């Protein structure tokens, strides 16, 4: 798909066009979660640990929100997760963010603290969300690239990040890692549920 195809797609709700919106798709995802004892007994050589999970909610009534270009639930969930994990946004090397719409990805960069408010667009333009940038984002293709299977979306993000942290992705899709810290960001409803999971290997 070309940039021209995207820009010429039919309007859905201004300024979003058809290809600014993720397709609701079928899909499934699974994960095996085990205790530290089980990991030792099974002799797993490269376990990926859940360092922290942050969660929050906000009003579902959009007209009652404090801000229309930010998701309060994401900001609170991110702060909770960073604090529990003892890290800062700058420590995250690879992330999967909930890009259900093109604007949602930009808002996520700002709400997660990867970049200051109002700079999310520049963050993308400067290549800071690419492999080799500040934080490699949505190397799975994101929801816009692979579809949004609702209930499976969040766990599919975890799957991708586990593969990244184990350095099991093919060349050109593997993030370069030093600290082995990943972040999954998932939202629900009209953005009034927010979840941020920090993973570490």
pLDDT tens sequence across 59-100: 888 888 888 888 999 999 999 999 999 999 999 999 999 999
Q: For the whole prediction, is pTM greater than 0.85?
A: yes
Which tokens sit at 147?
A: 């579809």
Token duo for residue 124: 């993308």
Domain-wise residue ranges, the chain: 3-200
Give mean pLDDT, residues 158-182.
95
How much is the pLDDT for 67?
84
Tokens 């960073």 belong to residue = 82
- What mean pLDDT comes out for the span 144-173? 92
Mean pLDDT, residues 160-179 taken together: 94
Q: State mean pLDDT over 20-30.
A: 90
Q: What are the tens digits of pLDDT across the range 95-121?
A: 999 999 999 999 999 999 999 999 999
pLDDT confidence of residue 191: 85
Q: Return the pLDDT at 34.
A: 92
Mean pLDDT of the chain: 93
Position 174 scores a pLDDT of 96
- Residue 125 is predicted with a pLDDT of 95
Check whether domain 3-200 has CATH 3.40.47.10, yes or no: yes
């Amino acid at each position: 798909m070309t940039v021209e195809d995207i820009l010429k797609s039919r309007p859905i709700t201004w300024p979003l066009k058809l290809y600014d919106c993720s397709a609701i798709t079928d899909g499934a995802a699974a994960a095996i979660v085990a205790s530290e004892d089980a990991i030792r007994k099974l002799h797993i050589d490269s376990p990926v640990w859940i360092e922290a999970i942050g969660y929050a909610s906000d009003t579902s009534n959009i007209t009652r929100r404090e801000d229309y270009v930010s998701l309060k639930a994401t900001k609170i969930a991110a702060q909770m997760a960073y604090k529990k994990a003892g890290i800062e946004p700058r420590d995250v090397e690879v992330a999967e963010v909930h890009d259900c719409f093109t604007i949602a990805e930009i808002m996520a960069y700002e709400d997660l603290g990867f970049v200051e408010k109002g700079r999310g667009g520049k963050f993308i333009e400067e290549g800071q969300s690419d492999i080799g940038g500040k934080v490699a984002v949505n190397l799975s293709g994101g929801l816009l690239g692979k579809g949004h299977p609702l209930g499976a979306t969040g766990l599919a993000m975890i799957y991708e990040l586990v593969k990244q942290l184990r350095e099991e992705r093919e060349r050109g899709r593997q993030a370069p890692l030093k600290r082995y810290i990943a972040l999954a960001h998932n939202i629900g409803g009209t953005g009034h549920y927010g979840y941020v999971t920090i993973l570490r290997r």
